[in-house]
Amino acid sequence: MLSALSLIEHALGDFLHGKLLLKHVVDWEAFVAKCKAFHFDRFVALIEALADVVEGKREYETLPDAYKVAFDEMLREQEPQSGQRSWFQRRVQLFFEIIRNSKKFRNYGYTSMYSFLFHSVWTHFFEREVRGI
């Protein structure tokens, strides 16, 4: 949120100082194009649709079923964390949460769940910086 607000605030500042340039609009179009190129566009569409419902611009009933699932999940009360868990226990829980949410990868992800898990585990074990040497 901070990064997005900083970028918008900077562009607004340029606008208020009479320095809004075609570059700002082109940058925004480039941002939209980059979202599509990196396969973030499906997630951006979901967020826009959910925001429209929250803002009252759109009725919940008009959402596609997959969006309704995301909306309902967003409003569901979060379960409290149960006690102290070790680093390993937290990682195992995260691993299984990712597997349980595999449909989200198909609907909105930029890569498959399997690829995401493989790269996450690989990076964690084999591409870490060595400290203390």
- Asked whether the predicted pLDDT for residue 131 surpasses 60, the reply is no
Q: How many domains does the chain have?
A: 3
Residue 4 reports pLDDT greater than 80 = no
**What angle is formed at CA 124 by the lines to CA 44 and CA 102, rounded to 5 degrees?**
40
Q: What is the pLDDT of residue 54?
A: 94
Do 6 and 19 lie in one domain? The reply is yes
Rounded CA gap, 84 and 86, in Å?
A: 7
43 and 25, same domain (yes or no): no
- pLDDT above 80: residue 126: no
Q: What is the pLDDT of residues 52-100, one digit of tens each?
A: 999 999 999 999 999 999 999 989 877 776 678 887 888 888 889 889 8
95 and 129 co-located in one domain: yes
Same domain, 87 and 131: yes
Same domain, 29 and 46: no
Q: What is the pLDDT of residue 128?
A: 61
Query: Same structural domain for residues 88 and 131?
Result: yes
pLDDT value at residue 133: 46
Of 41, 35, 31, 18, which Cα lies nearest the Cα of 107? 41
CB of 32 closer than 8 Å to CB of 50: no
> Do 65 and 101 belong to one domain?
no
Q: Same domain, yes or no, for 89 and 131? A: yes
Which two structure tokens, joined as six digits, stand for 117?
A: 């898990």
Q: CB of 66 within 8 A of CB of 42?
A: no
pLDDT of 129 reads: 59
Residues 102 and 113 in one domain: yes
Both 47 and 69 in one domain: the answer is yes
Do residues 59 and 29 both lie within one domain?
Answer: no
- The pLDDT of residue 13: 84
Average pLDDT over residues 17-27: 84
Residue-number span of the structural domain to which 65 is assigned: 39-78
